[in-house]
């Protein structure tokens, strides 16, 4: 009996938390005129920071899982969507992410029906200059940072704890193994894994 009550309480808590977070997230998006093609569902509260001249566009049926109650894989972070000045983050339809961080200083495009595993990070920037002298001065460091778009095709599955770096173009239906570091573009219908990720085989 106690187990039944405990499970019922957890279910009620999860549902109420999801409804509460989703309501305020959609309200936030509406206030800031962020373009969506349907309501966004978020389990737990994410962190979203869109710069004044940044652009976020989200497709229909977008789902986010955040924190220890909704992404119990051992690394219980929330999702972070951060879009810099004049940058564009475009997310397609039927996309699901868990404890995922996307830092967009140039452009990140995610296709339709993409699944992104827990604790994955996507960066289209180096964050700092590669010139050590410029890194010594804040403004020089910031102005000399390299960025390059990240493009992820349709029906891609990215395993948990992976890192997608700037300038990468991932083709349709690609599968990326867990804990992979993607440093170069991947053609459609291939499986890659490792650090740095390497070709494993074609998808038949």
- Annotated catalytic sites, by residue? 128
Strands 80-83 and 101-104, by their bridges, are parallel
Strands 197-202 and 190-194, by their bridges, are antiparallel
145, 128 contact by CB (below 8 A): yes
Q: In whole angstroms, what is the distance from residue 160 CA to residue 24 CA? A: 27
Name residue, tokens 């827990």: 118
Q: In whole angstroms, what is the distance from residue 145 CA to residue 141 CA? A: 6
68, 88 contact by CB (below 8 A): no
Chain length of the chain: 204
């Amino acid at each position: 009996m106690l187990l039944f009550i405990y499970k019922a309480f957890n279910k009620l808590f999860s549902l109420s938390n999801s409804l509460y977070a989703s309501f305020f997230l959609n309200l936030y998006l509406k206030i800031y005129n962020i373009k969506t093609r349907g309501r966004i569902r978020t389990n737990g509260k994410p962190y979203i920071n869109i710069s004044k001249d940044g652009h976020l566009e989200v497709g229909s049926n977008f789902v986010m899982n955040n924190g220890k109650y909704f992404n119990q894989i051992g690394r219980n972070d929330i999702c972070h969507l951060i879009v810099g000045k004049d940058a564009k983050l475009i997310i397609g339809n039927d996309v699901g992410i868990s404890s995922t961080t996307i830092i967009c200083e140039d452009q990140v495009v995610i296709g339709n029906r993409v699944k992104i595993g827990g604790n994955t990070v996507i960066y289209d920037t180096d964050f700092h200059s590669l010139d050590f002298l410029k890194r010594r001065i804040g403004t020089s460091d910031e102005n000399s940072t390299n960025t390059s778009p990240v493009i992820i095709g349709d029906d891609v599955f990215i395993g948990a704890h992976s890192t997608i770096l700037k300038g990468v173009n991932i083709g349709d239906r690609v599968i990326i193994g867990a804990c992979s570091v993607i440093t170069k573009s991947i053609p459609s219908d291939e499986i890659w894994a490792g650090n740095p990720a390497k070709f494993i085989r074609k998808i038949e």
